[in-house]
Amino acid sequence: MKHAGLALVAAICAALPAHAQAFNANGKNLRQVYEYLHRNPELSFQEKNTSTILAAEMKRLGFTVTTGVGDKFVRGRAMKDYGKIQEGVGGYGIVAVMKNGAGPTLMIRTDMDALPVTEKTGLPYASTIRDVAWSGEESGVMHACGHDIHMTSWLGAARELAAAKDKWKGTLVMIAQPAEEIGLGAKSMIDDGLFTRFPRPDFSIALHDNATLPAGSVGIASGYIMANVDSVDVLVKGVGGHGAYPQDAKDPIVVAARIVTSLQTLISREIDPLDAGVVTVGAINGGTKNNIIPDEVKMQLTVRSFADATREKLLSGIDRIARAESQSGGLTGDKAPITTVRPDGTPSLYNDPVLSGRVADALKASLGEGKVVSAQPTMGGEDFSRYGRTADKIPGVLFWLGAVPKEKIEASQREGGPPLPALHSSGFAPDPDPTIATGVKSLVSVATEILK
């Protein structure tokens, strides 16, 4: 789950890791599949081994399988921006279709990529893989966001639905998506004809594991549940000089400090208190030595919102404030700041209210009322949102899958208890068996309800 990444830096800088090895899911139980996927993670747009395993199993189950969906996007963008493609890099999206008579078309998505995080769980099946991260630096690689749980649940649901075709009618379109973590996977598949080359879905669903809910439970909400995510770079240009003679310079560090302070008023004074927004300055870099005033300062921001109007207001406000504070510091003309919104942001995720009701009813019927909780919106991001943002506006729902052992939750709630490891942390370790079992049961029950 997102954050905005550094576009295709990972894909261009790194080749397929040497750890990739043959694995046949046929005959393997879901725990075995999960442990293999956890032990062998792959970064965004490098999911060659992972996609090969999933595609082979879907073919065995009787799905019509197309691989490499999204490759056209990856290669077109990489050739344009970087002029080369390295071995092992590509769009490894999978589309698996099973037609079973007349009825609706349902798309079920999983994501496949891992994160540049060095695992510290101590699990016997922990990842020891290292690869080149998006920053260009070598790093450990880990499924710290639980995409291995997602894939295993998706595969388990495919097995059950393929074996129970007498219980549903319609068309299943099951997709395995690359590069969710850098916000480009859904876009790569859509741009490569996901909704034109294959049956167009009437509905789409996905699950995402949750680091605060107990394993065996799920959470669902209607309306906005995840945020617009934008990464903004601000280059503050000054006039460098000697730190002892500031009168002869125009200090971009002072201007940048003013920008940081003024940006907070976007939320506190320009956005409706009942609306939601976040403007965080995550990095500010300028200068090399105590007594040197630098020529420029670079700032990196993450911007979050739900409503598109709020998104636009925040982005335009950042540019306005940067320019105004620079002007107040005497920096105009060719010294005006440059504000850049990176193209890899993701739109907010909106759970269709009518479909949310159907999904909630199906989950309660299969898991029990007490296992289905009302989820709260979060300022995290998810590019599953893009599937509902096409011209067709396909109704979609993403629900949360509890992944934490109950005893760990209880321990964390005691005074002085240890905090729960968050998603994207090196210590995140789902409780595999109940989490996967609930994920499979949830996806099957929802699919059966929609395709009944």
214-242 tens-digit pLDDT: 999 999 999 999 999 999 999 999 999 99
Q: What is the pLDDT of residue 132?
A: 85
Nearest-angstrom CA–CA distance, 281 and 318: 11
Q: Same structural domain for residues 65 and 214?
A: yes
Determine which one of 181, 209, 344, 352 is catalytic: 181
Q: What is the pLDDT of residue 59?
A: 98
Q: Are 34 and 403 in contact (CB under 8 A)?
A: no
Q: What is the pLDDT of residue 391?
A: 76
Q: What is the pLDDT of residue 17?
A: 45
Q: Same structural domain for residues 66 and 168?
A: yes
Residue 88 in domain: yes
Intra-chain end-to-end CA distance of the chain, in Å: 31
Name the more confident of 181 and 89: 181
Tell me: pLDDT of 14 over 90: no
Q: Are 181 and 6 in contact (CB under 8 A)?
A: no
Q: What is the pLDDT of residue 4?
A: 38
Name the band, by pLDDT with cuts 50, 70 and 90, for residue 87.
low
Q: Same structural domain for residues 420 and 298?
A: no
Q: Same structural domain for residues 303 and 427?
A: no
Average pLDDT, the chain: 92
Domain boundary among 315, 341, 367: 341
Report the pLDDT averaged over residues 147-154.
98
**The dihedral formed by the CA atoms of 184, 186, 191 and 192, expressed in degrees to the nearest 10:** 110
Concerning whether 181 is annotated as a catalytic residue, the answer is yes
Nearest to 183 by CA among 248, 227, 124: 227
Q: What is the CATH number of the domain that holds 375?
A: 3.40.630.10
Residue 178 in domain: yes
Q: What is the pLDDT of residue 85?
A: 55
Tell me: pLDDT of 38 over 90: yes
Which phi and psi angles does 301 have, rounded to 5°?
-120, 150
Q: Same structural domain for residues 200 and 287?
A: no
Name the band, by pLDDT with cuts 50, 70 and 90, for residue 76.
confident
**What is the DSSP secondary structure assignment for residue 316, as one 8-state letter?**
H
Report the pLDDT averaged over residues 60-80.
87
Token pair belonging to 412: 């964390």
Q: Same structural domain for residues 235 and 211?
A: no
Tell me: pLDDT of 442 over 70: yes
Nearest-angstrom CA–CA distance, 130 and 128: 7
Q: What is the pLDDT of residue 134?
A: 59
Nearest-angstrom CA–CA distance, 381 and 379: 7
Q: How open is the CA angle 225-274-349, to the nearest 5 degrees?
A: 15
Q: Same structural domain for residues 192 and 277?
A: no
| 442 exposure class (CB count in 10 Å sphere: 0-12, 13-18, 19+) | buried
Tell me: pLDDT of 322 over 90: yes
Per-residue pLDDT reduced to its tens digit, 105-141: 999 999 999 999 999 999 999 999 999 865 677 899 9
Residue 28 in domain: yes
Q: Same structural domain for residues 387 and 299?
A: no
Name the band, by pLDDT with cuts 50, 70 and 90, for residue 78.
low
Nearest to 440 by CA among 126, 223, 225, 215: 215
Domain boundary among 303, 318, 341: 341
Full domain range(s) for residue 384: 9-226+348-450
In angstroms, how far is CA 371 from the centroid of its own chain?
25
Tell me: pLDDT of 346 over 90: yes
Q: What is the pLDDT of residue 10?
A: 38
Tell me: pLDDT of 251 over 50: yes
**What is the DSSP secondary structure assignment for residue 266, as one 8-state letter?**
I
Residue 2 in domain: no
Name the band, by pLDDT with cuts 50, 70 and 90, for residue 438.
very high
Q: Are 204 and 223 in contact (CB under 8 A)?
A: no
Q: Same structural domain for residues 119 and 186?
A: yes
Helix axis angle for 432-450 and 30-39, nearest 10°, is 110
120-129, 139-148, 387-396, 429-438: least confidently modelled range: 387-396
Residue 4 in domain: no
Report the pLDDT averaged over residues 316-325.
98
Nearest-angstrom CA–CA distance, 65 and 353: 31
Q: Same structural domain for residues 122 and 256?
A: no
Nearest-angstrom CA–CA distance, 138 and 143: 16
Q: Same structural domain for residues 112 and 199?
A: yes
Q: What is the pLDDT of residue 47?
A: 95
Q: What is the pLDDT of residue 296?
A: 98
Percentage of the chain lying above the pLDDT 70 cut: 92
Q: What is the CATH number of the domain that holds 305?
A: 3.30.70.360
The alpha helices in 227-378, defined as continuous H runs, are 252-265, 308-328, 353-367
Residue 354 in domain: yes
Percentage of the chain lying above the pLDDT 90 cut: 86
Count of domains observed in the chain: 2
**The dihedral formed by the CA atoms of 309, 313, 315 and 316, expressed in degrees to the nearest 10:** 130
Please report where in the chains the tokens 């049956």 appear, as a residue: 199
Report the pLDDT averaged over residues 266-274.
95
CB atoms within 10 A of CB 197: 10
| 437: three-class secondary structure by DSSP | helix
Exposed e or buried b for every residue in 241-273, given b needs 16+ CB within 10 A? Answer: beeeeeeebbbbbbbbebbbebbeebbeeebee
Q: Are 225 and 375 in contact (CB under 8 A)?
A: yes
Domain boundary among 318, 341, 364: 341
Tell me: pLDDT of 286 over 90: yes
Residue 23 in domain: yes
Determine which one of 42, 57, 71, 111 is catalytic: 111
Name the more confident of 381 and 74: 381
CB atoms within 10 A of CB 103: 15
Token pair belonging to 15: 């080749």
Amino acid, res. 274: L
Q: What is the pLDDT of residue 229?
A: 96
Q: Same structural domain for residues 215 and 232?
A: no
Tell me: pLDDT of 11 over 50: no
Concerning whether 111 is annotated as a catalytic residue, the answer is yes
Residue 1 in domain: no
| 229: three-class secondary structure by DSSP | strand
